[in-house]
Amino acid sequence: MYGKGLKPLSIATVAMLVVALSLVFFYAPLDADQGFIQKIFYIHVPLATVALIGFIVGGLFAIAHLRTGNSSWDAYSYVSIHISVIFGVAVLITGAIWAKASWGHWWVWNEPTLVSFLIVFLLYCTYYPFRYAIEDREQQARYASVFAVTAGAFVPLNFLAVRMAQSLVHPRVFATSNGGLPGSMMLTFLCCLAAVALLWTTLVKFELAAKSASGQVKRLRRAIGAPGSGSTSRIAPEVS
C-alpha cells in the first residue's frame, strides 16, 4: 500500500530536479558579490528548510501516534526524522563549502544559523541510540514519539536562543528591505525548494515502501517456515 503512487511521484521529482537545476545553471544570474559559488545557495537553503520542516513533521506524526496508538504513525515519524537527518548531513557539508568560499573558514562559530542547525542535528542524532536502547517494540515506539514531540518543540526555541546570542553574519536573504532577492533568483529558489521538498517526500515514501515490503516478506517466510528469516533491524519500526 505504501508503494502506491510511487512511480509518478518519482518521475515528478526527477523532472522537477532537472528543471530546478537547469534554472540554477542557465537562467539565474551570477551573484555580483560572490560569483559562481553563490549557486550552492539554491541547494543548501532548500535542503536546510526541508530538513527542519521534516523534523517538525516527524513531531506531528509522533503526536498522531500518541493520540491514536496506531503504530504506522510511528513508522512515518521515524522515516521523516531519518530522511531529515540524512538531509542534515548534506546541509552541514554544503554549508561548510559555502562558508569556506564566501567567509574563508569552513566553520564559523559566531554564526547563529550554522550553530543552531548543528545543535538540532546533534539532538536528532541521539534519536537512534535512544530508540536502539529500548527493547520492547511498543514501548520503543511510544518513547520515540515522546522524543520526537519534545525535539520538535525544541527546534524553533533553539533557533531563537542561538540567534539572540550572536551577531548577524549569515545572509538574511529574505529579511532585507525591498525583498532582497531579484525576481529571477527568487523563481529559481522556489523551484529548487519545490524540487527538494518533492525529493524528501519521495525518499520518505520509498523507505516506507521498502520497510513494508521487507516486513511482508518476513511474515510470509515465517508462515512457510523458511530459514534465514531473522536479521531484522532492531532500530527501525516494523511497518505492517
Partner 1 sequence: MTPSRVAFAAILGKDLRSELRTLQSLPAMALFAITTFVIFRFGLDRTHLSGSLAAGVLWATLLFAAVLGINRLFVAEREEGGFDAIRLAPIDRSVLFTAKVTALLVYLLALELIAVPVFALFFLDSPAALGPLVSVLLLADFGLAATGTLISSMAVNSRARDLLVPLVLLPLVVPLMIAATGATEPLMAVGGPGYHRFGTWLMVLGLYDLIFALVGYAVFDFLLED
Cα–Cα distances (Å) from 109 to 89, 113, 122, 167, in that order, read 18, 10, 16, 10
CA 117 to chain centre: 12
d(CA 17, CA 23): 10
Q: Does 123 bind partner 1 (CB under 8 A)?
A: yes
Q: Does 158 bind partner 1 (CB under 8 A)?
A: yes
Q: Based on C-alpha coordinates, what's the Rg of the chain?
A: 20
Using the rule CB under 8 A, which residue among 15, 89, 93, 161 binds partner 1? 161
C-alpha cell at 30: 551570477
d(CA 30, CA 171): 16
**Considering beta carbons, is residue 65 or 82 the nearer one to partner 1?**
65
Minimum separation from the CB atom of position 89 to partner 1 (A) = 16
Minimum separation from the CB atom of position 238 to partner 1 (A) = 19
Using the rule CB under 8 A, which residue among 18, 89, 93, 153 binds partner 1? 153
Minimum separation from the CB atom of position 161 to partner 1 (A) = 4
Q: Does 113 bind partner 1 (CB under 8 A)?
A: no
Minimum separation from the CB atom of position 132 to partner 1 (A) = 8
- Backbone dihedral region of 230: left (phi > 0), alpha (psi from -120 to 50 degrees) or beta? beta
Contacts of residue 37, Cβ cutoff 8 Å, sequence gap at least 6: 97, 98, 101, 102
Minimum separation from the CB atom of position 58 to partner 1 (A) = 15
**Contact present, 24 and 192 (Cβ < 8 Å):** yes
Task: Count other Cβ atoms within 10 Å, centred on residue 195.
Answer: 26
Minimum separation from the CB atom of position 171 to partner 1 (A) = 22
**Considering beta carbons, is residue 87 or 98 the nearer one to partner 1?**
87
Residue from 151, 123, 125, 147 nearest 134 by CA: 147
Using the rule CB under 8 A, which residue among 149, 192, 198, 199 binds partner 1? 149
Using the rule CB under 8 A, which residue among 28, 45, 51, 151 binds partner 1? 151
Binding mask 59-98 for partner 1 (x = CB under 8 A): -------x--------------------------------
Contacts with partner 1, residue ranges (CB under 8 A): 66, 119, 122-123, 126, 129-130, 133-135, 139, 142-143, 145-147, 149-151, 153-154, 157-158, 160-162, 164-165
